[in-house]
Amino acid sequence: MKIIAFVAILGAVTASCYDDQLCAFCATENICKKCWYSYPDPTGACRPSLPTVQNCVTYSPDGNCSGCIYGYYVTADNKCEKIALENCALFNPEKKCLGCANGKALQTNGLCASESCPFENCVICGQNACAKCATGYVLDENDRCIKTPANFEGCIKISEGSCIECSFPTHNVGRFCKLRSSTDPTAFAHGDIFQDVADKAREECLKMFTPEECSASMLSIFVVALALIFALIPSK
């Protein structure tokens, strides 16, 4: 079956997280602290978790989802469920909003106010800091959005001159983020259906962000794309 073959290739990825193409933050050359669409195993490498959970982007070693795309939260039965609270993009396990979208400010009562987010160039607004910056900006040590420095494209957050989280489809290599290789075994293996996946992902992106942000931010597209690809690949 195509999915089984795809997973078998994923399992062959090296045990070092240096240049591991699913690693968002490689703390050392051997320990990945955060993996996209996978989990860090005891050796520090990113390993796929099956079965996958729709709209999940990070997993724990037990196979459970540990983080969903913006606009969804992890339920007690290990699913990513859409947040019903208007303009809320981030939920905690107690179902309290942690970040608001669409330029809204987060109030102390956990609701998204009509007032504008007080943090400049922020698209996911927390109560005391920004959770996600607009395209062309990156979070600094104080969770404020600064202009993305040269050579830091794909970075979500910078600390002490190094990127400590890379957006998908980039991965952490040293101080910077590197675009995934199209020849890497963990890359999309079904190019003929990629456009269909991307179109569906864009539809989800537009529910939370503006057309400009969805066009410019590859993260917004690919975060949903990989979750959808398994549903589109026919099993034979």
pLDDT of 230 strictly over 50: no
What is the rounded CA–CA span in Å between residue 144 and residue 158? 10
Please indicate whether residue 210 or residue 134 has the higher confidence score (pLDDT): 134
Cα torsion for 130, 134, 138, 140, to the nearest 10°? -20
> In this predicted structure, what is the pLDDT of residue 197?
42
Radius of gyration of the chain (CA): 17
* SS3 per-residue string spanning the chain: CHHHHHHHHHCCCCCCCCCCCCEEEECCCCCEEEECCEEECCCCCEEECCCCCCCEEEECCCCCEEEECCCEEECCCCCEEECCCCCEEEECCCCCEEEECCCEEECCCCCEEEEECCCCCEEEECCCCEEEECCCEEECCCCCEEECCCCCCCEEEEECCEEEEECCCEEEECCEEEECCCCCCCCCCCHHHHHHHHHHHHHHHHCCCCHHHHHHCHHHHHHHHHHHHHHHCCCC
pLDDT of 233 strictly over 50: no
pLDDT digits (tens, 9 = 90+) for 144-193: 999 999 999 999 999 989 998 988 888 888 888 888 764 343 443 223 23
Please indicate whether residue 132 or residue 219 has the higher confidence score (pLDDT): 132
Classify 222 in phi/psi space as left (phi over 0), alpha (psi -120 to 50) or beta: alpha
pLDDT digits (tens, 9 = 90+) for 49-98: 878 899 999 999 888 999 999 999 999 999 999 999 999 999 887 888 99
Average pLDDT over residues 109-125: 92
